[in-house]
Structure 1
Amino acid sequence: MSSIGDGDARARRRAAAGIKQSLRELRNQLSLLNHQVGARLRLRDVDLDCLELVLEHGPLTPSALARRAGLHPATMTGVLDRLQKCGWVTRERDPDGPDRRAVLVRAVKDRNAELFGLYAGMNSAMDDLLAGYSEEELALLGDFLRRTTEAGRAATEELAED
């Protein structure tokens, strides 16, 4: 005969499995959205990923960007060539670099509206969705997403070290 505790444990495992499944589905859907955005901008998925990293963390050296993106430096050179050719980033001399060859990759701010405009539908949908949550619920969701992101970052770094 199973105790109430066993039922609670099963319900918890089912709930946790459901959350993990929902996160996989979310990842897939966001990947598809980003693919559509990239296609509209005539950018490869990896190019869009790197552009978003520069927008979020930039300016960055090409090697720092390669590390963040998990790409080989030679691959990063091709990505940056494409992004620069299309007017999304600039490469500027790094005044704090170890020598005159050191560069920083900086996003071209004049292009932000074009990029963000393609996400406007999703941003509006998120605003509507989040309006239905209390401040406490939003804090919980924010904490969960930050911790999930950190777990993903750690797992990515672990795989990259192999």
Structure 2
Amino acid sequence: MSNVTSGDRRVRRHLTAEIKSSLRDLRNQLSMLNRQVGIQLDLKDIDMDCLDLISRHGPLSPSTLARRAGLHPATVTGILDRLERAGWIARERDPADRRAVTVRALPDRGKEVYRLFSGMNSAMDSICADYDEEQLKLLADFLRKSTDAGLTATRDLSASGA
């Protein structure tokens, strides 16, 4: 790295700071979008987060959902009660172990969510259309690594009790 100039390092620091700032802006923007969708659907933010986890990774046991969401199991029970009453999920007994329960999202209700996010999905399709396959692979890799870094930071912070 001896041929890297201080100007190169300065540009790199600036670009890295710009990426971090953009990710924060994106997080805020997506949070506002999710809040608006939640208002339309009469769902709390945390309920939407859990519904998304169930939709994407389900069926799940309530304890697995609690772990993935970083929530206390008793909190998840309340969330699942609300989602079930509103017709978003179904709790089902595991045929192999009648004591075990799994939770799955109901597909008809998922169509409502998809409809409300269709504007953002269309915008993302248009943005991605401007990139070639190699660029899309790079972006997907960056986002996957960023997500993993967030997961690690969350686990570390949770473990430290800070």
TM-score range, shorter chain: over 0.9
State the partner residue of 1:139.
137
Q: Secondary structure at the match of 1:101?
A: strand
Kindly indicate whether residue 68 of structure 2 is the aligned counterpart of residue 83 of structure 1.
no
State the partner residue of 2:108.
110
State the partner residue of 2:117.
119
State the partner residue of 1:54.
54
Q: What is the total number of aligned residue pairs between the two structures?
A: 158
State the partner residue of 2:8.
8
Identity %: 60
How big is the shift at 1:101? Answer: 2.7
- Cα distance change of structure 1 residues 64 and 4 upon mapping to structure 2, 3 Å threshold: closer
Q: Secondary structure at the match of 1:104?
A: strand
List, as ranges, runs of 4+ consecutive aligned residues in structure 1 with deviation greater than 4 Å: none
Q: Distance in 1 between matches of 2:33 and 2:119?
A: 11
State the partner residue of 1:39.
39
Q: Distance in 1 between matches of 2:57 and 2:154?
A: 18
Q: Secondary structure at the match of 1:102?
A: strand
Q: Distance in 2 between matches of 1:59 and 1:13?
A: 43
**Cα-to-partner distance string for 1:91-114 (whole Å, 9 max, x where unaligned):** 1002344xx332001101121211
Flag structure 2 segments of 5+ consecutive residues without an equivalent: none
RMSD: 1.3
Q: Which amino acid aligns with 1:65?
A: L
Kindly indicate whether residue 22 of structure 2 is the aligned counterpart of residue 26 of structure 1.
no
Query: With structure 2 as the length reference, what TM-score do the two structures score?
Result: 0.93
Q: Distance in 1 between matches of 2:149 and 2:115?
A: 30
State the partner residue of 2:73.
73
Q: Secondary structure at the match of 2:99?
A: coil
Flag structure 1 segments of 5+ consecutive residues without an equivalent: none
Q: Distance in 1 between matches of 2:63 and 2:30?
A: 26
Query: With structure 1 as the length reference, what TM-score do the two structures score?
Result: 0.93
**Cα-to-partner distance string for 1:1-35 (whole Å, 9 max, x where unaligned):** xx961111111011000000000000010011011
